Amino acid sequence: MKKNLERLKDFRCPAPFKELQIFADSTSPCCPEWFDQDTLKKEFESELLLRHKDKKNFPRQLSAHDVSEIKDINDLSKNWNNKFHTNLREAISKGDYKYCSMMCPWVNEHSSLPEKEFKNKYIDPHTGKNSSLKDFNKIYKHQKLPSEVFLNFDYSCNLKCPSCRIHLNTNAHNPKAESIMNSFDTQFSEGVEKIICTGSGDPFYSNVFRKWLQNLDIKKYPKLKKLFIVTNGNMLTEKMWSSISNVHPIIEGIEISIDAAEKETYENKVRLNGRWDVLMDNLKFLATIDEPLSLTFSFVVQDHNVRQMIDFENMLMDIFKDSKNKDSICIMFRAIQDWRVGSKEWYSDRNVCVDTHPKHPILIEQLKILIRKTNGHNHNYVKSNLYHLLDGKEIEEEIKLI
């Protein structure tokens, strides 16, 4: 599937102008794996050669990690204007998405939505144009520092999900995390408006992130209005929720990554070290919370769980059927990505999004049901761009929209 450059040229992705993801050794405006391989190799060859000695040693899949290295932990703000971030912003400000790949959900949706859906969602029927350029110039073009920061630099996690990592990453394995947190706390606290914690591990298992959440002084962050928490949910008990009551007023939402609709798959295939029964108890507790809260549940689609996509939605609808926040719940189905933690063969065996995979027809059947329900407005749970789960086929022929 290729990028629809004609569509993209009239849109401006805001991410490089407002977002900064901070990792242990690098930074990126969005997921580091969403960038175009050929462009990275061509425009950052000298930087890559410095890190990997010669072209033969380039990793099998390049990412922002390879071209946006943190040079000074004590001055993270320098990375906001390094070559990678600057070049990316310059290209996108002109409608040029050469750095971006179809792995990016934003690029994928703008490129791959069927024409009718695309026009209904993004084009003003009166003018035949979109209004994003005007908003972009007004809001983002002259922004000097990020307004949204992703705290992704502590990889500590109580699970070892094969789609993400093959070993447990304990708190002892992340010696830089506390220093980076101190640097962030010093350099970005006055201007940041939204914080996402965390896409790298689990914020409640991480000593650094958990203590930061429990002791965060909102007065030190005068512009901070939104806090979004990403977790596997195993440690999000009622007691843990009470321990972060100081940040309840600014919690915009919580994303819980689950990837299964049954205990056996969860504990033995996709979420190793996870405790299904504990997770279910925690979800039932979240369903009783009175405060307004957006809840997102993510599901990385792979061969082990592809038959459970519909069951996953039904399970969550049942748990939250009486929740005061049931109208703020959404499900994000995500394509499995190659984080290079396993072999090419392992990734190929998991990736049902490729049309040659033996379980690809099962994915198609699950998607047909989900898209039919979404188009029929029977619910508002599934929010992700389901079309990004298809790789290499003409979408409108693959799934007949109803």
| pLDDT of 117 | 82
Between the CA of residue 67 and those of 6, 26, 294, what are the distances in Å? 28, 8, 34
User: In this structure, is residue 129 part of a structural domain?
Assistant: no
Is 87 inside any structural domain? no
Determine, yes or no, domain membership for 336.
yes
The tokens for 312 are 């996953």
For residue 401, what pLDDT is reported? Answer: 45
Q: Looking at residue 174, what is its pLDDT?
A: 86
Q: At residue 390, what is the residue type?
A: L
To 5 degrees, how large is the angle CA 365–CA 371–CA 377?
140
Amino acid (one-letter) located at 259: D
Q: What is the pLDDT of residue 382?
A: 65
- Which structure tokens are listed for 349? 């065996």
Q: Which residues span the domain enclosing 379?
A: 258-402
pLDDT at residue 47 in the model: 85
> Of 82, 37, 79, 35, which Cα lies nearest the Cα of 55?
37
Asked if the structure places residue 155 within a domain, the reply is: no
User: What is the end-to-end Cα distance of the chain in Å, rounded?
Assistant: 23
pLDDT at 157: 97
The total number of structural domains that make up the chain: 1
- The answer as to whether 250 is a domain residue is no
Report pLDDT for 141: 64
Contact 251, 295 (CB under 8 A): no
Q: Which two tokens stand for residue 322?
A: 């009486």
Per-residue model confidence as pLDDT tens for the chain (402 residues): 577 878 888 888 989 999 999 999 999 999 998 999 999 999 999 888 888 877 777 777 889 999 999 999 989 989 999 999 999 999 998 999 999 998 888 898 888 888 888 888 888 888 888 866 777 777 776 678 899 999 999 999 999 999 999 889 999 988 899 999 999 999 999 899 999 999 999 999 999 999 999 999 888 999 999 999 999 999 999 999 999 999 999 999 999 999 999 999 999 999 999 999 999 999 999 999 999 999 999 999 999 999 999 999 999 999 999 999 999 999 999 999 888 888 999 999 999 999 999 999 999 999 988 887 766 544 556 666 677 787 645 444 555 543
**Is the separation of the CB atoms in 242 and 231 below 8 Å?**
no
Please state whether 343 falls in left (phi above 0), alpha (psi between -120 and 50) or beta. beta
User: Does residue 340 fall inside a structural domain?
Assistant: yes
Burial class (CB in 10 A: 0-12, 13-18, 19+), 142: exposed
Question: HEC string of the chain?
Answer: CCCCHHHHCCCCCCHHHHEEEECCCEEECCCCCCECHHHHHHHCHHHHHHHHCCHHHCCCCCCHHHHCECCCCCCCHHHHCCHHHHHHHHHHCCCCCCCECCCCHHHHHHHHCCHHHHHHHHCCCCCCCCCHHHHHHHHCCCCCCCCEEEECCCCCECCCCCCCCCCCECHHHCCCHHHHHHHHHHHCCCCCCEEEECCCCCCCCCHHHHHHHHHCCHHHCCCCCEEEEEECCCCCCHHHHHHCHHHHHHEEEEEEECCCCCHHHHHHHHCCCCCHHHHHHHHHHHCCCCCCCEEEEEEEECCCCHHHHHHHHHHHHHHCCCCCCHHHEEEEEEECCCCCCCCHHHHHHHCCCECCCCCHHHHHHHHHHHHHHHHCCCCCCECCCHHHHCECCCHHHHCCCC
| 35 found inside a domain | no
What per-residue confidence (pLDDT) applies to 170?
94
**Residue 131 is assigned to a structural domain of this protein:** no
Peptide bond into 86 cis (omega under 30): no
Question: Do the beta carbons of residue 88 and residue 96 sit within 8 Å?
Answer: no
